[in-house]
Amino acid sequence: MEIPRAIPIVSTLASPFDADATTDSLPPPPPPPAANGGRKPLSLWPGVYNSPVTNALWEARSSIFERLLDPPVDAPPQSQLLSRTPSQSRTAIHYNLSSDYMLREQYRDPWNEVRVGKLLEDLDALAGTISVKHCSDDDSTTRPLLLVTASVDRMQLRKPVSIDIDLKMVGAVIWVGTSSIEIQLEVHQPAEGSDVSDTLALTANFIFVARDYKTGKAAPVNRLAPQTEQERLLFNQAEARNNLRKRKRADPKGFKDGDVGTLKSMLTQGRISCDMPALADRDTILLRDTRLENFLICQPQQRNIHGRIFGGFLMHRAFELAFATAYAFAGIMPCFREVDHVDFLRPVDVGDFLRFKSCVLFTEREDSDSPLINIEVEAHVMRPELRSSEVTNTFNFTFSVRPEAKAMNKFGIRKVVPATEEEARRIMERMEAKASQLEGPVRLDAQPQK
């Protein structure tokens, strides 16, 4: 009996350290590290299994990135803070979607638009690259800082992102505190047949914090010296947002007399739905009945350059669960509007047992043509051996519905009501946080990106 010939399987990824790599999208390979005479394994580079933002890391590669792979922990910390301008950290990525078929297929969603979850990964990776560039001291004898994503302040989608038109992602440091950095990112894509000035598709603001690689304590970062009027305006806006965050942390989460009345009204509606469901308003639904969840084991391919799970991967998974939650709730295709806020409370490690839980917190139905659905997603790391579970991340997303889908839908968006006081307080806290958001940041440039 003739034995069928086995089909060989090879990697579709070209190693950046192979001397014969010819992929046009990658820059020339670096020389092998002198320390051990060999090449760094490909798996140590972040993002290689996720998205082309890895190219930006390779393009921006310098001695600081080599040191991040094998940090000299016993080396002294940076002794003198430098002054950097926003333009020194500015980095851009170009997506040749119109001509690169394979790239289009990586980013295509079922509706022939760009997958937002993939963009979230790219935005976080690019923000990390920018923060490293700003904090580098260009001294190979000092140990580098450990830079981690602390939060996403806000991310707004201004218009759908087409899969067939080239786009550019650009970002820069716009503000620094003692040990924290704010990076503003923008996605630009010209619309077919529109004015060239109408290119801004998405804006996002990431907050990173610096830690000492050896002690894990907060570490000071290089200063920022805005040069132009636009850069100074961005700096002042970011300063105002930072002050608002400090006030929120300082204020206790108490409720005023008017808030207590609102809370009681919410609970009254919820109790009717719980105790007398046949008599409940058909236009309402209990918060607990909107919940979805999923589970996963964190894999080595999802880690970042520091060996922890990549924050962009967590946002991607949270977004896709939030999208499914909005879809199941509305009964028609949801349309992503914004990330209201993301908190990275604790790091997630390779091998962690991760649980994502989502729910519809509240809806905004004032505009019947474009109602808003506010989704909360929590990530929990569960440790069955220790009988423990802790929240590592919270994500808040806002969706609307596609007008073309709504025209065919027979049902309206329902009002969400709480069954418990804890749920009612969560709803009110999120409503208050959303109402207190400052006006969106100005553009990185006075002139539009082309």
- The mean per-residue pLDDT over the stretch 286-311 comes to 89
Residue 342 has pLDDT above 50, yes or no: yes
Model's pTM, two decimal places? 0.83
Residue range 255-267, pLDDT digits in tens: 565 677 788 888 8
Average pLDDT over residues 74-103: 88
pLDDT of 256 reads: 60
pLDDT value at residue 39: 45
Nearest to 54 by CA among 124, 104, 144: 124
Task: For residue range 139-157, list pLDDT tens digits in order.
Answer: 667 777 888 899 998 899 9
pLDDT at res. 21: 40
Q: How many other CB atoms are found less than 10 A from the CB of residue 446? A: 10
pLDDT at 20 over 50: no
Q: What is the pLDDT of residue 40?
A: 46
Identify the structural domains of the chain with CATH numbers, from first to last: 49-250 (3.10.129.10), 257-437 (3.10.129.10)
Average pLDDT over residues 286-303: 92
Instruction: Provide the b/e sequence for 4-16 (b: ≥16 CB within 10 Å).
Output: eeeeeeeeeeebb
How far apart are the C-alpha atoms of 270 and 264, rounded to whole Å? Answer: 10
Strand partners, 349: 308
Residues written for the chain: 450
Asked if 57 and 65 touch (Cβ cutoff 8 Å), the reply is yes
Nearest Cα neighbor of 241 from 341, 145, 338, 337 is 341
383 by Cβ neighbours in 10 Å (0-12 / 13-18 / 19+) ranks as exposed
Q: 13-17, 92-96, 143-147, 418-422: which has the minimum mean pLDDT? A: 13-17
Q: Which of 116, 164, 110 is nearest to 405 (CA)?
A: 110
Q: β-pairing, 415-417 with 284-286?
A: parallel
For residue 220, give the nearest of 99, 82, 127 by alpha carbon.
82
User: For the chain, what is the radius of gyration of the CA atoms?
Assistant: 24
pLDDT score recorded for residue 65: 60
pLDDT score for 116:
93
Choose between 376 and 74: higher pLDDT: 376
Q: What pLDDT was estimated at residue 252? A: 57
- Two tokens at 232? 């100074």
- pLDDT of 406 reads 62
The whole-number pLDDT of residue 67 equals: 61
The pLDDT of 220-229, averaged and rounded, is 94
Look at residue 246 in the predicted model and tell me its pLDDT: 83
In what side-by-side order are the strands of the sheet with 353-364? 91-95, 167-176, 180-188, 200-212, 145-157, 334-344, 388-401, 372-383, 353-364, 292-297
* Cα gap 270→276, rounded to integer Å: 10
Percent of the chain with pLDDT over 70: 76
Please give, one letter per residue, the 3-state secondary structure of the chain: CCCCCCCCCCCCCCCCCCCCCCCCCCCCCCCCCCCCCCCCCHHHCCCCCCCCHHHHHHHCCCHHHHHHHCCCCCCCCCCCCCEECHHHHCEEEEECCCCCHHHHHHHECCCCEECHHHHHHHHHHHHHHHHHHHHCCCCCCCCCEEEEEEEEEEEEECCCCECCCCEEEEEEEEEECCCEEEEEEEEECCCCCCCCCCCEEEEEEEEEEEEECCCCCECCCCEECCCCHHHHHHHHHHHHHHHHHHHHHHCCCCCCHHHHHHHHHHHHHHHHHHHCHHHCCCCEEEHHHHCEEEEEECCHHHECCCCEECHHHHHHHHHHHHHHHHHHHHCCCEEEEEEEEEEECCCCECCCEEEEEEEEEEEECCCCCCCEEEEEEEEEEEEHHHCEEEEEEEEEEEEEECHHHHCCCCCCCCEEECCCHHHHHHHHHHHHHHHCCCCCCCCCCCCCCC
Cα 13 to Cα 16, 21, 22, 38, 49: the distances in Å are 9, 10, 12, 19, 9
| Least confident interval from 115-129, 288-302, 431-445 | 431-445
The string of pLDDT tens digits covering residues 356-408 is 999 999 999 887 778 899 999 999 999 999 999 999 999 999 999 877 666 66
Nearest to 155 by CA among 338, 27, 345, 319: 338
Q: What's the pLDDT at 368? A: 72
Higher pLDDT, 39 or 228: 228
> In terms of pLDDT, which residue wins out, 212 or 5?
212
So what's the pLDDT on residue 35?
42
Residue 203 near residue 221 (C-beta atoms within 8 A):
no
**Residue 293 and residue 247: Cα distance in Å, rounded?**
33
d(CA 309, CA 347): 7
pLDDT interval class at 450 (50, 70, 90)? very low
- Angstrom distance (rounded) from CA 319 to CA 397: 8
- Please state the rounded mean pLDDT for residues 88-105: 90
Give 98-136 pLDDT, tens digit per residue: 998 988 998 999 988 999 999 998 999 889 889 988 988
Backbone angles phi, psi at 269, to 5 degrees: -65, -40
